[in-house]
Copies of this chain bind each other. A is one copy, B any other.
Amino acid sequence: MLVMTQEKAPQRSGSSGLNALAGHAVSCSEFKYQRGTEIFGEAEPVDYLYQVKSGAVRCYKMLADGRRQIMAFHLVGDIFGVENGGVHRFTAEAIVETTVSLTDRLNVVGEEGGRAAGTNNVLRLVTSNLQHAETHMLLLGRKTAIEKVAAFLVEMDARLSAAGVLNLPMNRRDVADYLGLTLETVSRALSQLRERDVLTFTGRSHRQIILRDRARLAEFDH
């Protein structure tokens, strides 16, 4: 697992070498991953901090028999791959063709040493991941299928709704593995919300969703 395979090796893309983290000299460049390819794997050593420039990433854990739980989706602007021990605790994969900017991790920790006015970047990052995890545990442990799907739509709406259209990069199985459901149940919940005029699909793809009644959607998401 420690060897970079051909499939997974990042391809350097030709764009700006500029630094996202209010930056330092260089230490940062961009890579492109084809859809479905692994960015890093569980138990691999941590080398970098990643930021999504375009595309989307899923981070997940798996059980021995193949059951998968997606901990989080990372969309444009999100930073991920922070660990404290030297090893990744989960796998990260590109959901669609994804460009990621790679920052040398030690360099970032160095910045933190600079201590910009009371709050430090890495701590804030980890804390916001923890916050998301806590909210998600409540969802996984205690919400019904329709509540889970509604909560997912609300979350995605806040993240990537452009011009009133929710353009999902992930498929139903990804959504299901994020919510602790099966893909059929996700599909049924979406159909139910459509029947009740909470949402519509744009003509073509069933991954483009228009939220017609956010108030009523919010009612489903307790």
Interface positions of A (Cβ within 8 A of B): 61, 63-65, 67-69, 71, 82-85, 89-90, 109, 113, 115, 118-120, 122-124, 126-131, 133-138, 140-143, 177, 179-180, 222
> With A113-B115, A115-B113, A137-B71 in contact, is A63–B142 under 8 Å at CB?
yes
In whole angstroms, how far apart are the Cα atoms of A123 and B125 in the complex?
10
Contact indicator B84/A124 (Cβ below 8 Å): yes
Residue among A120, A134, A180 with the highest chain B CB neighbour number at 10 A: A134
Contact indicator A142/B68 (Cβ below 8 Å): yes
Contacts of A63 in B (CB 8 A): 138, 142-143, 222
In whole angstroms, how far apart are the Cα atoms of A68 and B118 in the complex?
34
Q: Which are the 7 A-B pairs with shortest beta-carbon distances?
A: A141-B180, A84-B127, A133-B133, A140-B140, A69-B141, A67-B142, A69-B138
What's the minimum C-beta distance from A71 to chain B, rounded to whole angstroms? Answer: 5
In whole angstroms, how far apart are the Cα atoms of A120 and B82 in the complex?
14
What's the minimum C-beta distance from A75 to chain B, rounded to whole angstroms? Answer: 19
Contacts of A126 in B (CB 8 A): 123, 126-127, 130
Contact of A141 among B82, B135, B179 (CB under 8 A): B179
Contact of A130 among B113, B119, B133 (CB under 8 A): B133
Contact of A89 among B109, B113, B131, B143 (CB under 8 A): B131
> With A126-B126, A129-B130, A130-B129 in contact, is A138–B61 under 8 Å at CB?
yes
In whole angstroms, how far apart are the Cα atoms of A61 and B65 in the complex?
31
What's the minimum C-beta distance from A107 to chain B, rounded to whole angstroms? Answer: 13
In whole angstroms, how far apart are the Cα atoms of A180 and B69 in the complex?
15
Contact indicator B142/A137 (Cβ below 8 Å): no
Residue among A67, A82, A113, A118 with the highest chain B CB neighbour number at 10 A: A67
